C-alpha cells in the first residue's frame, strides 16, 4: 500500500526563531515541501511556542494544499485552535508542557474518559483523529474504543536500536500493533526518529502503514542534500 510522507516543519520554525524575523520563511518552506513531493505538512505547536507559533498555524492553513496534520497535547488552547483551523488530521500526544520532544505514547485505558471526551469534541470539526501510542496491541484496541480514526505508533525505540538490535525481533511489536489496528478498523501512522537508514525496513515490515511524519532527521539531511533531493530520498524509501 502507498504510505504518505508528511513533513514536520517544526525545526524550520526553530531556526527562524533563533534570530527573530522571518528567515527561513516557514510558509515558503511548506509550499516547497509540497512542490517537492511531500504529501502532508505536520506541525506541533507547544504552549511556549518555542518553534511553531499559533499564528503560524493560521498562516499555514491558508496555503497547505495536501494534508495538514496538527499534533499536540489537547489542552483547551489546542482544542480551540483545532476548532478554528479544521485540519485534515489532528494527532493527540501526551506531552507535558515542559518536555523537549514526544517520547512515549498514551496509556489510553488509563486516560479513557479524558480522551473519549476530547475525541468526541474533535469529531465535530470533521478532523481525522489519530492518537500517539506505544507499539502495543492493547493500545490499538483501546484507541478504537475511544473513538479514534487512526493511531500513530511511536518509533523512537525502534530508531534508537535499529543499528544494533536483531531487526526481526525489534520490528515485531510494531507489526503486531499495526495488524491489531487494522483488525479493529483503524488506520496506522508512525513517527519519531525515522530516517533514511531505518525507514525502508519499517515500511516493508509494518502493514498497514498509511502515513509517516518525519521532521528532525529530514531537515537535518536537507542541510547536506538539499530539501528537494532529501524529500525525494524519503519518498523513495516509502516505495
- Residues with a catalytic annotation lie at 44, 71, 192
Give the integer Cα–Cα distance in Å for 174 and 151: 12
Contact 106, 133 (CB under 8 A): yes
- What is each CA distance from 146 to 136, 143, 157, 188, 206, in whole angstroms? 16, 5, 25, 16, 23
Cell 518553534 belongs to residue:
51
Write down how long the chain is.
239
Q: How many other CB atoms sit within 10 Å of the CB of residue 162?
A: 20
Among the listed residues 187, 130, 191, 186, the one whose alpha carbon sits nearest the alpha carbon of residue 157: 191
Contact 206, 179 (CB under 8 A): no
- Bridge partners for 42 per DSSP: 8, 69
Alpha-helical runs (H) found in 109-215:
112-123, 137-146, 156-161, 167-170, 172-183, 199-205
Amino acid at each position: 500500500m502507498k504510505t504518505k510522507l508528511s513533513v514536520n516543519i517544526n525545526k524550520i520554525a526553530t531556526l527562524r526563531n533563533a534570530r527573530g524575523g522571518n528567515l527561513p520563511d516557514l510558509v515558503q518552506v511548506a509550499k516547497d515541501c509540497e512542490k517537492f513531493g511531500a504529501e502532508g505538512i505536520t506541525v506541533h505547536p507547544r504552549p511556549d511556542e518555542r518553534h511553531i507559533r499559533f499564528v503560524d498555524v493560521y498562516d499555514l492553513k491558508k496555503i497547505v494544499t495536501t494534508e495538514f496534520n496538527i499534533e499536540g497535547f489537547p489542552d483547551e488552547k489546542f482544542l480551540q485552535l483545532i476548532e478554528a483551523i479544521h485540519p485534515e488530521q489532528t494527532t493527540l500526544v501526551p506531552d507535558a508542557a515542559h518536555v523537549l520532544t514526544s517520547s512515549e505514547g498514551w496509556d489510553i485505558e488509563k486516560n479513557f474518559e479524558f480522551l473519549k471526551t476530547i475525541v468526541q469534541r474533535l469529531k465535530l470539526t470533521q478532523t481525522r483523529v489519530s492518537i500517539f501510542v506505544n507499539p502495543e496491541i492493547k493500545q490499538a484496541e483501546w484507541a478504537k474504543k475511544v473513538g479514534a480514526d487512526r493511531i500513530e505508533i511511536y518509533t523512537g525505540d525502534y530508531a534508537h536500536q535499529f543499528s544494533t538490535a536483531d531487526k526481526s525481533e525489534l520490528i515485531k511489536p510494531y507489526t503486531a500493533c499495526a495488524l491489531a489496528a487494522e483488525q479493529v478498523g483503524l488506520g496506522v501512522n508512525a513517527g519519531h526518529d525515522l530516517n533514511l537508514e531505518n525507514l525502508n525496513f519499517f515500511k516493508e515490515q509494518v502493514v498497514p502503514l498509511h502515513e509517516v511524519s518525519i521532521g528532525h532527521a529530514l531537515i537535518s539531511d536537507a542541510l547536506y542534500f538539499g530539501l528537494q533531493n532529501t524529500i525525494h530520498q524519503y519518498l523513495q524509501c516509502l516505495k
